[in-house]
């Protein structure tokens, strides 16, 4: 949800399961962590550590939107696990939005028009979804402010242009069944 951590300037979450974050990285980044100009997901020993910062020492939102795409593309090539190039067409170009995604999630790599994860290359995220979500994030930052850390003051939330699918009013989320 948006508005979580509204008074937090720095946050570290550890011991995050890989399969959970691989599939939910984009939604968490663009909602719960949307105000944080610095966001990273580091992977070690089968778990992620998330760090987010929007304090005075954090890079500006502009820094996330202006990566050296050539350098990120080279880093992307270096991330591709051995043998994956036999199954995936190598990426030959990146947008700024894709570069930002790869910088924030160094476990990810781009092959053709989808993103995969070094520890589980069969998991993927569609490239169009990455580009759209990050562009929406950039647009929200642009509307909110163009200098310094974005939305880091308590009560200063960013409003996103896109409304992602939600349950209809009155609908209940599916209930998990207990394991037999």
What does the domain layout of the chain look like in residue ranges?
10-144
- pLDDT the model gives residue 31: 86
Tell me the C-alpha distance between 50 and 42, whole Å: 6
Per-residue pLDDT of the chain (180 residues; tens, 9 = 90+): 555 666 777 888 888 887 778 778 888 898 888 888 889 999 888 888 989 888 777 777 777 778 888 899 899 888 887 876 766 777 778 999 999 999 999 998 898 888 888 887 788 888 999 999 999 898 888 776 533 334 554 333 333 333 434 445 665 555 545 545
For residue 169, the model assigns a pLDDT of 61
Measured between alpha carbons, how far is 17 from 24 in angstroms, rounded to an integer?
11
- pLDDT given for residue 148 in this prediction: 38
What number of other Cβ atoms are within 10 A of residue 86's Cβ?
Answer: 6
The pLDDT value recorded for residue 170 is: 63
Does the predicted TM-score (pTM) go above 0.75?
no
Q: Using H for helix, E for strand and C for coil, what is the string for the chain?
A: CCCCCCCCCEEEEEEEEHHHHHHHHHHHHHCCCCCCCEEEEEEECCEEEEEEECCCCCCCHHHHCCCCHHHHHHHHHHHCCCCHHHHCCECCCCCHHHHHHHHHCCCEEEECCEEEECCEEEEEEEHHHHHHHHHHHHHHHHHHCCCCCCCCCCCCCCCCCCCCCCCCCCCCCCCCCCCC
Residue with tokens 């163009």: 146
Question: In residues, how long is the chain?
Answer: 180
* pLDDT confidence of residue 168: 56
Of 38, 11, 18, 10, the residue nearest 108 (C-alpha): 18
Q: What is the pLDDT of residue 57?
A: 77
């Amino acid at each position: 949800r948006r508005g979580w951590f509204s008074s937090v300037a720095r946050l570290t979450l550890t011991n995050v399961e890989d399969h959970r974050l691989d599939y939910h990285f984009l939604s968490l980044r663009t909602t719960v962590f949307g105000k944080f100009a610095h966001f990273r997901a580091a992977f070690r020993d089968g778990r992620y550590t998330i760090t987010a910062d929007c304090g005075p020492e954090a890079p500006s939102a502009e820094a996330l939107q202006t990566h050296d795409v050539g350098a990120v593309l080279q880093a992307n090539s270096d991330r591709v696990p051995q043998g994956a190039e036999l199954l995936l067409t190598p990426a030959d170009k990146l947008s700024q939005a894709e570069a930002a995604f790869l910088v924030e999630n160094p476990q990810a790599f781009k092959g053709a028009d989808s993103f995969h994860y070094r520890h589980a290359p069969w998991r993927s995220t569609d490239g169009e979804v990455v580009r759209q979500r990050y562009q929406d994030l950039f647009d929200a930052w642009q509307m909110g402010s163009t200098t310094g850390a974005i939305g880091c003051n308590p009560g200063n939330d960013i409003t996103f242009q896109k409304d992602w699918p939600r349950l209809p009013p009155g609908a209940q989320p599916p209930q998990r069944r207990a394991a037999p």
